[in-house]
Structure 1
């Protein structure tokens, strides 16, 4: 009986601790939602929500009517979607090669790829910009998509997942006459579905929230993405905080929606290489 009481007490305490942690985590989100519904004069007057009579949707209306935020959203969806698809294809293909093929110089290639992970992105920005300038990719979406076409981190994620696919399965496919690309596409990729979900979510978040490189490479406002568009709301002498909070909330929604759709694959993908069966 005492063990049962102790176990129930521990569960209650853990549940209470999780509730407290959830409330602390959600507090900034609640403040953000409240700020989008305030008048400019009430932004810093009330900690959270103002009285009901003072709630307004003017920030959302002004966001889409006074700025090109709708265009910024379309730009971000296009550049992010293209980056994720290209990264997914090349990263999974390279991960398949590293996991299932033996070739001369494989160790050297692997070591070189790992070394690139140690380079800060800021170190390569100047030479990369110069290269893209001579390739006429400045102020174009290609200047964002092409440099991010390959993710070394993604390659090793897929390698870790694909290395667990039985070699006998691939040999059986070859005996049936499958080409190497068809083995990759029809056998390896479906088996690696959890890792695909995890990688797509991480790649989407990185591309969607990218600010510095798009700010450098894009010059015309009709090409701006959401982070750059939000930065335009910060003035030198005054800032439209209500519109800024409204834009931030709208910009967070696609990432939150994608996480809800891929949360199972995200958890399964991150743990797929943790235990070797």
Structure 2
């Protein structure tokens, strides 16, 4: 009976995996089709004529090196600052007792109930008045604070016994040293998870860079891809090939950190 139940669960998971991977596979294989095959009937998943002309045209027509560099700067810098700021904020919410901290934490959590589009106009005004319009810092600064990251660290640090902190203070450890040398290493799993999520968020971000950036030389990858879509026609082979190229860094990120992504337990830690 257990074997039958386990087999049925496995089959369901395989079916779900196939349902998810099928459009991705179609998307990748379509990038190797000439334009005449993309909309010809009957539709076929495998190209009748394999071609890489879309990739060569996309790479030669667009300055991918510049767009990759801009997006990498935004993703890496934002991720590093997001992890640091979220860890410090979550630690303060978890270990310092003050009514205004609890109220502030509730306000931060309340922002998760607001669509991003609601706060974009006010964020844009702040970025413009700070002189960060049409610059990469204008994309980075508003993206540093994330309610998700703060909540993750706050919940994690809440599981660390206060006795550990008191013992360190008795030994003469300062608050900054206590956080950097004791608390932050304990939260390494959360740092890895949040870093991976943040890299993915920033790499795929489109709306905010589209609002802030005006100079094509500062475009991030997703905004640059939008320029492939013309007003009257779309070069589908080039668009599909360029989109596949833009996905490669995220695929590489998953391959490198797949163990952390699949196995990390964000609820692990010391229990009271």
Aligned pair 1:163/2:162, yes or no? no
Please give the root-mean-square deviation of Cα atoms over the aligned residues, in Å.
2.1
Cα 1:214–1:270, aligned 2, differ >3 Å: closer, same or farther? farther
CA deviations over 1:6-55 (Å, ceiling 9, x no partner): 3333333322222222211111111111111111112223421223xx21
Supply the distance in 1 between the matched residues of 2:35 and 2:270 (Cα, whole angstroms): 53
Query: Which residue in 1 is equivalent to 2:44?
Result: 47
Equivalent residue in structure 2 for 1:256, among 251, 257, 261:
251
Query: Which residue in 2 is equivalent to 1:13?
Result: 8
Per-residue deviation at 1:162? 1.0
Supply the distance in 2 between the matched residues of 1:22 and 1:275 (Cα, whole angstroms): 35
TM-score (norm 2): 0.91
Q: Once structures 1 and 2 are overlaid, which stretch shifts more, 91-100 or 170-179?
A: 170-179
User: How do 1:74-85 residues align onto structure 2 when only pairs under 5 Å count?
Assistant: 74-85=69-80
Query: Between Structure 1 and Structure 2, how many residues are aligned?
Result: 270
Query: Is the CA contact (8 Å cut-off) linking 2:159 and 2:270 kept in structure 1?
Result: no
Query: Which residue in 2 is equivalent to 1:123?
Result: 118
Query: Is the CA contact (8 Å cut-off) linking 2:160 and 2:271 kept in structure 1?
Result: no
Any stretches of 5+ residues in structure 2 without a counterpart? none
Query: Which residue in 2 is equivalent to 1:216?
Result: 211
Supply the distance in 2 between the matched residues of 1:109 and 1:250 (Cα, whole angstroms): 42
CA deviations over 1:217-257 (Å, ceiling 9, x no partner): 00011111111111111112111111111122122222222
TM-score (norm 1): 0.90
Query: Is the CA contact (8 Å cut-off) linking 1:195 and 1:266 kept in structure 2?
Result: no
User: How do 1:1-277 residues align onto structure 2 when only pairs under 5 Å count?
Assistant: 6-45=1-40, 46-51=43-48, 54-267=49-262, 271-272=266-267
Per-residue deviation at 1:274? 11
Query: Is the CA contact (8 Å cut-off) linking 1:39 and 1:55 kept in structure 2?
Result: yes
Supply the distance in 2 between the matched residues of 1:275 and 1:47 (Cα, whole angstroms): 54
Supply the distance in 2 between the matched residues of 1:242 and 1:133 (Cα, whole angstroms): 37
Supply the distance in 2 between the matched residues of 1:242 and 1:198 (Cα, whole angstroms): 35
Query: Is the CA contact (8 Å cut-off) linking 1:99 and 1:163 kept in structure 2?
Result: yes
Supply the distance in 2 between the matched residues of 1:172 and 1:267 (Cα, whole angstroms): 34
Supply the distance in 2 between the matched residues of 1:273 and 1:122 (Cα, whole angstroms): 34
Supply the distance in 2 between the matched residues of 1:36 and 1:97 (Cα, whole angstroms): 49
Q: Once structures 1 and 2 are overlaid, which stretch shifts more, 14-23 or 135-144?
A: 14-23
